[in-house]
Structure 1
Amino acid sequence: MNFELVIAAEVMLNGLMAGILYALVALGFVLIYKASGIFNYAQGVMALFAAMTLVGIMEGQVPFNHLINAIFGTHIHSFGWEVPALLAILLTIVVMVALAWLVQQLVMRHLVNQEPIIL
């Protein structure tokens, strides 16, 4: 097969994947704004945090290990083994659902129906 054709297909696939990720983040912005009237500036950061959490879990790192160590006085840094991709994705979803719930309870709930100057 022609090497240049393979490179072109790879570049097109990478561009498509990047476009899909941008579209998902934009869809998150629109859904949150239409549902609550609040523009959530942290949406992009949460997407980045989810990606970093997934990579960390796949490499065997414990999420929020610095926070856990500070609160409980432990010295946990890793699981000691590599986590399979499917399990890492499920753990990342659990972590992100918990984080999204905390953000909604602590921040977003208090901003609904506020004056525009507050937002």
Structure 2
Amino acid sequence: MRKQRDLPVSIYRILLYLSRMRAEDFDSRRLVRIERATGIDRKELRSHLEKLTDLGLVECIDEGKKGRGGHPQLHFNITPVGRTWRSDIGRLIQLCQRGEYYPESFFYLPSDSF
């Protein structure tokens, strides 16, 4: 069972990982990579990405290709507005770390070595 994280940390991790990926680098396994790196399961990740797209923090790109199950292969990129929100959420998390609401490890992705 995966650790439950609160909403700001989940959103921050998704935006951080998307900002580290190159926008032109499309791959059918991209969502799996985001899922593994952020520690968020696929259904929850899909829900977060849809909401972040509606808010304009992430853009969804459909290249018209179909996956194994016939589902469209969607790619997500962070927008400039998303980068700004990522920094703001990061500052909130840092403040919560200083106040000892979050342990130090909440700020980093599981793929980071610290």
Structure 1 length-normalised TM: 0.30
Instruction: Using structure 2 for the length normalisation, give the TM-score.
Output: 0.31
Higher strand share: 2
Q: Which has the higher contact order (CA 8 A, sep 6+)?
A: 2
Report the structure number with the largest CA radius of gyration.
1
